[in-house]
Structure 1
């Protein structure tokens, strides 16, 4: 029995290696903290042995990282999960934005103060400066918030 277990333990790394590949991932060379914008400085390529099917979960090029914001602490020499980074916020909480209500022939604009930060496509709450009413709207790529007919 002990011989069988020992043999199985010896063969396990070989079985794993048969189904794994050496793949290059991008890793930080210094700690990157949550909320920090990532630049190309301090990034390097490092080889890892991993199953090819799992490789898509990790960042493999600098283009996937530059300009993004870390969602969690990224440690030096460790591969970065794709979901550990995010696009930077387009709308900042508390910074005045334009609210737009558009029905085709009628366009109404107002100023509002976002209650939360958001990326393009996010649904956020915004307080209308003139009326004080809180409305929900979708963040547009140009930094405005579309309210009403969505």
Structure 2
């Protein structure tokens, strides 16, 4: 009876699940359900939910059996390196639209460097949902 009371008073530690890759996944691959699985292990820094990684793109190579961390994933790229993109600069009521060449690839919300094709200067901007790079937004 005392043993049962001890078990009820001190429950066993719950072990968290961690997300690991089921196969080697190359960078720039969008993750599907078959690419990952949950294992009964508490791996520091690893994701704990398949829904958090589903549909995201691997930023680095993910090896089979190794944990998947948030920094390993990002939004799927909609702008490729060297792609000509629209640049938009906003300052108050003024908006300047021009074209630029992307110096890196990125997804929605990523900040990338873009070379303005007219002036040949490099600026940084955030990629929006349409693939346009917003150099500066109104406050």
Q: Scaled by the length of structure 2, what TM-score is found?
A: 0.71
Structure with higher Rg: it is 1
> Is the alpha carbon distance of 1:75 and 1:123 closer, same or farther for their aligned partners in structure 2, counting shifts above 3 Å?
closer
Which residue pairs with 1:12 in the alignment? none
Q: Is the 8 A contact 1:91 1:119 kept in 2?
A: yes
Selected match of 1:133 from 120, 128, 139? 120
2:22 is matched with which residue? 29
Q: Could you tell me which residue of structure 1 aligns to residue 37 of structure 2? A: 44
* Aligned residue-pair number: 127
- Please state whether the residue corresponding to 1:116 is helix, strand or coil: coil
- Does residue 63 of structure 1 match 2:51? yes
* Structure 2: runs of 5 or more not aligned: 1-11
TM-aligned CA distance change 1:83 to 1:29, over 3 Å: same
CA distance in 1, matches of 2:113, 2:23: 36
Gaps of 5+ in 1: 1-18
Q: C-alpha displacement at 1:65, in angstroms?
A: 1.0
Q: TM-score, normalised by structure 1?
A: 0.67
